[in-house]
Chains A and B, each alone.
Chain A
Amino acid sequence: MPGKLKVKIVAGRHLPVMDRASDLTDAFVEVKFGNTTFKTDVYPKSLNPQWNSEWFKFEVDDEELQDEPLQITVLDHDTYSANDAIGKVYIDIDPLLYSEAATVISGWFPIYDTIHGIRGEINVVVKVDLFNDLNRFRQSSCGVKFFCTTSIPKCYRAVVIHGFVEELVVNEDPEYQWIDRIRTPRASNEARQRLISLMSGELQRKIGLKVLEMRGNAVVGYLQCFDLEGESGLVVRAIGTACTLDKLSNTSAFLPACNSPSKEMKEIPFNEDPNPNTYSSGPSTPLKNQTYSFSPSKSYSRQSSSSDTDLSLTPKTAPSPQGPRIFLFPSSPTLSCDSPHLKKSCLLLSGSSVKPLHCSHVSPVVLRKSVSFTEELLLAASGMGSGSAGKEGGPFKTLLRQQTQSALEQREFPFFTLTAFPPGFLLHVGGVVSARSVKLLDRIHNPAFVGIMGNTRSYKLLDWNSFNSDEPETRDAWWAEIRQEIKSHAKALGCHAVVGYSESTSICEEVCILSASGTAAVLNPRFLQDGTMEGCLEQRLSWQPGFFSIGSEKGEVDFFPQSQDSSSLLGIEEASPPGCGFCHIPYDELNMPFPAHLTYCYNCRKQKVPDVLFTTIDLPVEAIVVGKGCLIQARLCRLKKKAQAEANATSISNLLPFMEYEVHTQLMNKLKLRGMNALFGLRIQITVGENMLMGLASATGVYLAALPTPGGIQIAGKTPNDGTYEQHISHMQKKINDTIAKNKELYEINPPELPEEIIGSPIPEPRQRSRLLRSQSESSDEVTELDLSHGKKDAFVLEIDDTDAMEDVHSLLTDVPPPSGFYSCNTEIMPGINNWTPEIQMFTAVRVSRLSNINPTNQTLNKNFNDLCENLLKSLYFKLRSMVPCCLCHVNFTVALPEDELVQIAVTAVAITYDKNQALQANKAPTEKSQQRASTDNEEQLQFPLELSSDPLSSQPFSPAKEALEGASSHTGIPAAQRATSLEKASPLAEGYLRHRSVPSGTNSTVSVVKMTPLSFLPGAKITKYLGIINMFFIRETTSLREEGGVSGFLHAFIAEVFAMVRAHVAALGGNAVVSYIMKQCVFMENPNKNQAQCLINVSGDAVIFVRESELEALPVPAPAAAAQPAGSAGDVTT
């Protein structure tokens, strides 16, 4: 019995009127955890009940603690009929399970109902007493910390970065169960919310187990997603990066102390069996029976796809280390497993015998084709594609690769979900690798079952579990395939790892596009190896001598003919200048995987760099950047015929490569148009709808000093004889050149003049219009020998051969730069701005537009889509105009196609103000880490910052004078008297408020302010504690859409409610901010005819406590966060 959960229900307030006759409510509360339920007394006739209950105690397994949410239901007692539910609160108690995070959850939670929204609030206190569990076969992974942040969290140090962890669990979607036909929408929504909460808990626990197995103690860059596959079920999957983190304040403690079971784990001798526990999870609660998972940590989990991998058209020249293809029959790997798997394999046997049949049905070759095409085209176009691996390439590089490979190759997937790294971690970046695969969801129903029953519909009445138990394997196999693909692409780029890795899906009816992308990279092995792991240590010892010998004889001669001695060679990776090292190509230039154009690095002049660099990661802090960055988007629509099943999947597969190519060309052109040469944070989203595909790529363009100056864009016409046409072309050319010049000015791109370079003449002779025409930056002499390759590639030439192309060029020019005072980027920090002020405003904007064309063409759709995005951005700039000068950071667009002609775009971003005066100085200084810090005196200059920055810590009256000064804008928690002095305009309220304090009622319990940001940091503040992960899923439904203000009113209220619930949970944990906030899903469906709408939102982030940097000195000892919680009792003078 390793844990005791204690819950106290204190009070409620602002409850809805449930009894029309008396205008009052007889409320009581049910507290449920697992299968145990407690009830409070009925508090009669009050809208502000004071239950002040006893402590309800639940004695539970820690496994259950991790999986289950605490469920609090507020009801109205009714003597004669059934009690009416007012609403619920789900509390994830996970943050209480690790010792470093929160110790108590206490505060006001909005009572949420899926039909009515927020209905009053309830004050709850939750505590957990956790006992040590020494059982090595335990199923729980309490103590493993989870972070959404995709970098090493601010108050931690990474001791080891272990690598990729992933897991998925599958269940039937309650919305599609037969019972849904007879139950109320509310019951159905609640079943769904609860199930997803349960599945996320389970998923997190299982990932935690994997992390413990890898001897890590944390997951960073944890990304959990839902795939709502409709009829075929619900998939919850997560990826992350396992790390061993060390709290910065206490360097001695390696692993979390006290309750953390990971400590015990260390004492257990290393088990040879890689997965001693995961498979043996027995059903301990009835609910758990419903969710099955499978951990694919070994390649033999790929059985279902094993037969088709060979047929894939992807040029996988590098053999996969584990050689999954040797298993031709799905049953063989399971049989070859260790004893713990026996149970599982028995379970599988029934299904596996039918599998070949399944394969022939699906014709996976057709479906998978897209992946390989796509990838090749994309990469070739980007100038960093796949093709053949540089296997026999430079021995030096190979060696280098080997050194880290040895560490990485013991893992199946050397992937990292991180986007920012400790200095020195990232050695080289190869480029973006991505893979997509089109799948038919229809086929994932257990083929065994189909074989037996011959009727896909009837299964709903049967026990779902017995037939779908191996379904996660199908999903796992799909992902494993894609990851394998990514891995081989990375190899082809001479890289042994993939960073900034992410996965996503787009589902429409029965078709699902799985996508994965990342940045191929070479990493420093130092961070990847755990000194305690003997295997690694051995390998490290063994490769080193070899490295010396071969390196000195070949590497020097072949590749560094100029003047490199062996010492620099030895430590070459460390020796490469920090500002440009990551730009240097990791692949072998003589045997390049694609036609690329290389020059010597413009920074160190020693190594080769590509002409453009695309990555999915954040700009490394040490990178040397010229000017500022900007958000670059490529937008694209493609019509598709409506089709069914395989025909549909095939047509999508056929479209994908063209879309990727076009998206890529657009990105490249827009990058050139801004005079920049690198993209960071690239995210390409392909969304599938019934009759079209949409592609949206967002990235932040920058000018890297290490890379060559980009050339201009040259327009070439097809009909050179026509005089007017020619005139038109030259006019257009002029416009483009003007735009480039303007952009350079706007983004302050003035690269230092290099003697052998001619900068600023991007316009070649207008006469030369041959296809071979390229722009000019390569006029430097070193590159002349490489100019031979130019003919193969003409990414800079826009050839206008028909009206479509003309429109493409036009659309290039329609991107309006943001109004003055605004910058935007989709990365964490804006390159070139490093003087943030503490004012932030996080927001979510959602738009759904109808594409009204009767006969839409690709062109009109493109234009519509483009306008939609541009208008959305414009309206954001307008809304946030009061914050100027400011920067929109982490601009995250998601596109969905909910219905035939509807396009939904959701944007979440944060606007951060910066100091204009300091910006001038900052431009001169190279980008520093101090970007994240704002000077402290800016705070005082701000009279009324928009965002409340009050944090519980500052509410302690340590420095009253100072607080009085700042109080007006930044503190709600300070005593009202102080605030009143600083509130001139607002004094009446403050006075009235002051009065209330004297009244013995609870009206004065201020709502503590919680900041939210998609970034991993808060400008001008220091994160002192991570309180745990916030991962919430809500459903809202209405049957009175018009009455709630139509679709906009409905969604507006819902998003506000989601924010409110996130804030309440963070505040209850004692936190004052959410960092790395992300809205992962926003699924909106409407049926205006029935006056109905439904929306699902999934958000996550890290709850933290931050302290203003200016207050750090004033507050040497942070006060306990719980002290800042609003008082438990509350009343209302109105009653």
Chain B
Amino acid sequence: MSSDLDVFVGNTTLIDEEVYRLWLDGHSVAEAVSLVSPVSPLSPVAEAVARRLRGGVLEREGTSVAVLQSDTRDHYRTFQMLERLLHAPPRLLQQLLFQIPPERQALLVQRYYAFDEALARELLGKKLSKGTKKELDEVSARTGVGIRSCRRQFDNFKRVFKAVEELRGPLAENIQQLFLLPPALARDYAAIVFFANSRFETGKRRLQFLSFGDFAACAQSMMAHWSQGALAPEAADPDGDLPKSFLQDLKELKVLVSDKDLLDQHKSLVCSALRGKISVYNELEANFKALSRALVNVGGKLTHARDVRDFFVDLVEKVIEPCRSDKWSPGDLRLFLTHYTAAPRNLPGFRHQALWERYMAAISACLLRMYHD
């Protein structure tokens, strides 16, 4: 006696958090095979059942595998029907099909859009295209995130990206509004969109020590200080694109390294301020010009898309690595950056003070965040 049809529908939609997690995670075939059960080994439901069995539901509730399967299938069907709505969370709030308490709706959305940082790290700066999606198999293998889950998360990134690509105003807020995400999660998505938009290179070996969190923090500082919205909230361009005029203006800063006098004065100002205050004073004195050149040139290159990609590579290669080899402590770096940024104020003939500080604010934040092992 086999059940052809087996459904359970509640007036209030039942959401089992455990099953939802299993559904979101996707499943590996290996797990399903380990289950001694009549269900076809490839079905995701079987895997979920297997997981639940391992979780000890059976012992806890004194129920049978058949019951567990039926329950899991019900939940899976519900989630599949909900998925369409989860693609546009405001619709989840408005829809009439499922009666779900608000806190459950929030949970559904939050969990659906939560992502594995390892995966996000892999995808940072990559074009969210079909090609990238095809490479997800490798990503899945590298990160240990199930392939189904990888695809879902990738689709989430892409969906968010598409939705806010053309919108004006602050990225994170737009995302938060359109997808009803918690602020922190919305900021992370903003970072992903920002990276995907500017296509920063993050995959180089020398950048491997940087986590998703590091990059997200950098993206946030860059958006916070550099984007048009940072100056004029009603700005016309989306935050994801760095304003062209600003990038153009950055070329003006080259004077700090190209003008020998300015460079020397800058150095002496910084060195006098830092003498005795940092442990690596000698190294600083020796490397100041190289550092300053690197810091200023990174900005100067941002007008060319190809050079933009190398932004983080340059920072690491030309600033972080030299400092690290000279055994700067993070405190040293912080002090240096503070004074390095502040010093031009006292430079005679330097007219780009505001621009400089705006530029350095983001660069300093990035560097400090990235300066670790």
B277 within 8 A of A: no
> Which partner residue on chain A sits nearest B66 by CB separation?
A871
Q: A944-B103, A986-B102 are in contact. Are A1056 and B180 (CB under 8 A)?
A: no
Complex Cα gap A948–B11 (Å) = 10
Residue B10, interface by CB 8 Å: yes
B94 and A1005: CB pair below 8 A? yes
Q: Answer whether A988 and B110 are a contact pair too, CB < 8 Å, given A972-B102, A996-B177.
A: yes
Q: Which residues of B contact A847 (CB under 8 A)?
A: 3, 5-7
Whole-angstrom distance between the Cβ of A658 and the nearest chain B Cβ: 24
Known contacts A819-B62, A996-B90, A1045-B80, A843 near B8 by CB under 8 Å:
yes
Q: Are A946 and B11 in contact (CB under 8 A)?
A: no
Q: A879-B71, A1134-B178 are in contact. Are A1056 and B61 (CB under 8 A)?
A: no
Indicate if the CB atoms of B101 and A969 lie closer than 8 Å: yes
A430 CB, nearest partner CB in chain B, Å: 37
- Whether B178 pairs with A878 at a CB distance below 8 angstroms is no
| B35 interfacial by beta-carbon distance below 8 Å | no
Chain B 67-104 interface 0/1 with A at a Cβ cutoff of 8 Å (1 = within): 11011011001101100000011110111111101110
Give the one of A904, A979, A992 with max B CB within 10 A. A992
A678 interface residue per 8 A CB criterion: no
B222 in the interface (beta carbon within 8 A):
no
Nearest Cβ distance between residue A1014 and chain B, in whole angstroms? 11
Query: What is the size, in residues, of chain B's interface with A at 8 Å between Cβ atoms?
Result: 60
CB contacts (< 8 Å) of A844 on chain B: these are 8-9
Chain B binding site: helix, strand, loop or mixed by DSSP? Answer: helix
* Contacting pair B10 A1048 (CB below 8 A): no
Let me know if B96 and A846 touch, CB within 8 A: no
Q: Are A1048 and B2 in contact (CB under 8 A)?
A: no
Closest to A944 in B: B103
CA distance A1053 to B95 in the complex (A): 14
A982-993 CB contact bits vs B (8 Å, 1 = yes)? Answer: 010111111111
Closest to B12 in A: A947
Shortest beta-carbon distance from A635 to chain B in Å = 13
Q: Whose C-beta in chain A lies nearest to the C-beta of B85?
A: A14
Known: A944-B101, A1133-B177. A846 touches B93 (CB 8 A): no
Contact B102 A990 (CB under 8 A): yes
Nearest-neighbor residue (CB-CB) of B97 within chain A: A1060
Cβ-defined partner of B106 (8 Å) among A110, A948, A988, A1056: A988
* Cβ–Cβ contact A14 & B91, under 8 A: yes
Task: Assess A850 versus B97: contact at CB under 8 Å? Given A875-B67, A1133-B177.
Answer: no
The number of chain A residues with a CB under 8 A from chain B is 80
Instruction: State in angstroms the CA–CA spacing of A1049 and B74 once bound together.
Output: 9
Q: Cβ of B331 < 8 Å from any Cβ of A? A: no
Given known contacts A947-B11, A948-B99, A1045-B77, is B94 in contact with A1134 (CB within 8 Å)? no
The answer to whether B102 touches A845 (Cβ under 8 A) is: no
Chain B neighbourhood of A983, CB < 8 A: 102-103, 106
Q: Which B41-67 residues have C-beta < 8 A from chain A?
A: 61-64, 66-67
Contacting pair B163 A1134 (CB below 8 A): yes
Whether a CB of chain A sits under 8 angstroms from the CB of B354 is: no
Residues in A neighbouring B101, C-beta threshold 8 A: 944, 946-948, 969, 972
Contact B61 A850, beta carbon cutoff 8 Å: no
Per-position 1/0 for A839-858, Cβ under 8 A of B = 00111111111111000000
Inter-chain CA distance A548–B90, complex, in Å, is 75
Are A846 and B180 in touch, CB under 8 angstroms? no
Q: Bound complex: CA of A536 vs CA of B43, how far in Å?
A: 71
Residues of A close to B186: CB separation below 8 A: 992
The interface residues of chain A lying within 8 Å CB-to-CB of B1 are: 849-852, 864, 867-868
Kindly list chain A residues whose C-beta atoms are within 8 Å of the C-beta of B77.
1045, 1048-1049, 1052
| Closest Cβ neighbor of A1064 among chain B residues | B96
Nearest-neighbor residue (CB-CB) of A991 within chain B: B183
Q: Is the pair B63, A1007 in contact by a Cβ cutoff of 8 Å? A: no
Q: Are A1055 and B7 in contact (CB under 8 A)?
A: yes
Give B161 Cβ to nearest chain A Cβ, in Å. 14
Interface flag for B107 (CB, 8 Å): yes
Does A995 touch B at the CB level, under 8 Å? Answer: yes
Are B183 and A1051 in contact (CB-based, < 8 A)?
no
Cα separation A979 to B106 with both chains bound (whole Å): 12
Known A1009-B99, A1055-B7, A1060-B97; judge A878-B109 contact (CB<8 A): no
B44 → chain A, closest Cβ, in Å? 13
Give the distance in Å from the alpha carbon of A1084 to the alpha carbon of B12 in the complex. Answer: 23
Taking CB atoms, residues of chain A closer than 8 Å to B183 are 988, 991
Among all A-B residue pairs, the 7 with the closest Cβ atoms:
A988-B182, A989-B106, A986-B106, A848-B5, A992-B180, A986-B103, A843-B10
A-B contact pairs, 14 of them (CB 8 A): A121-B96, A819-B62, A874-B64, A875-B63, A944-B103, A972-B102, A983-B102, A988-B185, A989-B106, A993-B180, A1045-B80, A1056-B81, A1059-B9, A1060-B98
| Chain A residues proximal to chain B, CB less than 8 Å | 13-14, 108, 110, 118, 121, 819, 841-852, 864, 867-868, 871, 874-879, 881, 902, 904, 944, 946-948, 968-969, 972, 979, 983, 985-993, 995-996, 999, 1003, 1005-1007, 1009-1012, 1045, 1047-1049, 1051-1053, 1055-1057, 1059-1060, 1063-1064, 1084, 1130, 1132-1134
